[in-house]
Amino acid sequence: MQLLAFFVLSLLALVSAIVVVTHRNPVVAALALAFNLVAIAGFYFLLDAQFIALLQVIVYAGAIMVLILFVIMLLNLKQELGGRPSGIVPRVLAPVLGLVFAAILGRAFLSLRGGFPARAPGYGTVEAVGREMYTRFFYPFEVVSLLLVAAMVGAVLLAKRRL
Amino acid sequence: MSDLLFGIVSTMGKLAVVVSALMGTVSVMTWVERRVSALIQDRWGPNRVGPFGLLQPIADGIKFIMKEDITPADAHKPIYTLAPALALVPALCAFAVIPFGPTIELLGRRIDLVIVDLNGGILVAFAAASLGVYGIVTAGWSSRSKYSLMGGLRSAAQMLSYELALTLSVMGVLLVAGTLRPMAIVEAQGGWFWNWNAFRGGGQPLGLLIFLVAGYAETNRLPFDLPEAESELVAGYHTEYSSMKFAMFFMAEYINMTTSSALAVTLFLGGWQVGVPLPFEGWSLAILQILAFVVKVGFFLFLFVWVRWTLPRFRYDQLMNLGWKGLFPLALANVMLTALLVAFGLVG
Amino acid sequence: MAPRALLLVSAALFTLGVLGVVLRRGAITILMCIELMLNAANLAFITFARQWNQAEGQIYVFFVITLAAAEAAVGLAIVIALFRLKETTDVDEIHLLKW
């Protein structure tokens, strides 16, 4: 049952990632990325990280991707012009990366043996993550909130028409 | 019967009950909306189809199925067809974590009357609210019409802004309850009705008020329905949709309303708790509790319709001002106050 | 389901992200491929957190998601500011610093 879920989720995640990377229309690419993020959240559920999975859906798929979609529609971006990319780096790097990708994928589906150790009780729950966060990681937590304030101020300043 | 089989069958049964109840609520709400709005406006409303117009939803359903499905020639067909589904599916998913009854005994095993009892249960409702924005934004964009796009973007911005106030208003309840599991939150509100979270038991009357206002904005209902009211004035995000696709948007809106009401009832008004300590146990109490839940949710749905025809519509800048400069700081203050109260042991 | 399979799916997603950054020409699409790379890394973090049964990996994912939000906001603000200047988001057109 878990194996089936893993297969389905990886198929969905990889197909939507390929759509993100190749589709001409940026809105379709953004929707495919949102779908990919929900598939990754599915992976997190499969790995018993319930709290982080729900956070991923709420924050990543539900807020960040909507923001990106907003900006795409605001700027009224048309389909990207295709055409062969110029320069040696894209022309050499891309095929090489493609081959690497194919090799990785082939390897992935040949190595399904092994498993995870038994799950600790209370792993992945809100209480477990919260306890770690507010004891060991309290200082990074506060610093990240400062970073968010800085990002907000920066974004508002950058996007203003007149300072 | 093995445990796994029993689990599967009971979950399927709960799913069937919840989905049919939601669809039934949608059709009843169409009648309630038209009848109550008519009575508020001193006219009759539907009174031809069946007694008191009670068969009107059936007539509406037949109309939706028989109408011609027009697709604008310039629309982006795949996303245009996908958008109603994107609006409807998250709306339905939010109901998976709302407990509609107590734990009952059946065939010697206990069943919780909630479809899924996740450890971070309340977050699923917020995840569904976040994903609901996609249906609107894609509908507005894929119609390839200036006014649809503006309506869609405005609605999405409104929903995003009020999600903040919505989530923060619930934070007070979570502080008091100490858990995110809806079943545990409801069970902590047992006993008399002043134990409910909106009254002395949790001290969250402000939280309930903010949740309701933010809920109206999330579901695009008056007084915050500028994205839809534009269809009376200019156009809205579902202006280019007809027949079944429009019906799906319609259903998604009513299901969102029901979810919002059910969440308010679960978090602030004791869920399925009757509010009076009763001496008897077992099946009769369970049925009474399910009935209590239905009555409370029905009251909030009636409130949705009542407010719609009482208050005037907000202008868009007034709306955004209220969300960011009014509700958000108020919700933050509520969280801080609740945290102080909980720390000093005065509530919870 | 094995840790190795999950890590290789994560590597495949990362490679796709890098391919996207190299091949795409729209600034926002490149940002989206960067998000894809971040998600691949998150998947690896969660896999290892499950392997060692610790909450630490999940905390790192929490921070990565927060940082991705901040980065997306600022990056999009930059793209908007650039769009006002140049009327395009094509990265091949934005070469003011070239000789």
B295: helix, strand or coil: helix
Quote the CA–CA distance of B221 and B224 in Å, as a whole number.
5
pLDDT for residue A30: 95
Task: Give the start-to-end residue ranges of the domains of chain A.
Answer: 1-78
Q: Provide the pLDDT confidence category of residue C2 given band limits of 50, 70 and 90.
A: confident
pLDDT for residue B123: 93
User: Would the CB atoms of C80 and A75 count as touching at under 8 Å?
Assistant: yes
Nearest to C46 among A20, A52, A75 (CB): A52
Quote the CA–CA distance of A150 and B7 in Å, as a whole number.
49
Residues of C in contact with A27 (CB under 8 A): none
User: Would the CB atoms of B131 and A62 count as touching at under 8 Å?
Assistant: yes
pTM of the model: 0.91
User: Would the CB atoms of A58 and B126 count as touching at under 8 Å?
Assistant: yes
Quote the CA–CA distance of C67 and C78 in Å, as a whole number.
16
Chains in touch with B (3+ beta-carbon pairs under 8 Å) read A
B119: helix, strand or coil: coil
C88 in contact with A at a CB cutoff of 8 Å? no
Residues of A in contact with C42 (CB under 8 A): 40, 56
Quote the CA–CA distance of C87 and C80 in Å, as a whole number.
10
Quote the CA–CA distance of C3 and C5 in Å, as a whole number.
6
pLDDT for residue A124: 86
pLDDT for residue A31: 95
Task: Quickly name the fold that domain C3-86 has.
Answer: Helix Hairpins (1.10.287)
pLDDT greater than 80 at residue A105: no
Residues of chain B scoring pLDDT < 70: 1, 230-235, 348
User: Would the CB atoms of A68 and C31 count as touching at under 8 Å?
Assistant: yes
The alpha carbon of residue A132 is apart from the nearest alpha carbon of chain C, in Å, by 7
The residue among A70, A64, A67 whose CA lies nearest residue A40 is A64
pLDDT for residue B233: 54
Q: Provide the pLDDT confidence category of residue A145 given band limits of 50, 70 and 90.
A: very high
The interface pTM score, or ipTM, of the predicted complex is 0.92
Which of 1.20.120.1200, 3.20.20.70, 1.20.1250.20, 1.10.3210.50 would CATH assign to domain A1-78? 1.20.120.1200
Show which of residues 232-291 on chain B sit within 8 Å of chain A, judged by CB atoms.
Answer: none
A52 in contact with B at a CB cutoff of 8 Å? no
The β-bridge partners of B106 are: B109
In tens, the pLDDT along C6-35 reads: 888 998 899 899 888 888 888 999 999 999
Interface test with A, best of C7, C13, C88 (most A CBs within 10 A): C13
Nearest to C11 among A74, A104, A117 (CB): A104
Task: Enumerate residues 6+ apart whose C-beta is below 8 A from A58.
Answer: B123, B126, B127, B130
pLDDT for residue A85: 59
In tens, the pLDDT along A23-79 reads: 889 999 999 999 999 999 999 999 999 999 999 999 999 999 999 999 998 888 777
Residues of A in contact with C59 (CB under 8 A): 129, 132-133, 136-137
pLDDT greater than 90 at residue A93: no
Quote the CA–CA distance of B272 and B97 in Å, as a whole number.
14
Q: What angle do CA A110, A113, A116 make, to 5 degrees?
A: 130
pLDDT for residue B234: 60
User: Would the CB atoms of C92 and A86 count as touching at under 8 Å?
Assistant: yes
> By the 8 A CB rule, do B267 and B170 touch?
yes
Q: Do chains A and B touch (3 or more CB pairs under 8 A)?
A: yes
- Chain C: residue nearest A118 by CA? C53
C85 in contact with A at a CB cutoff of 8 Å? no
Task: Give the start-to-end residue ranges of the domains of chain C.
Answer: 3-86
The β-bridge partners of B110 are: B105
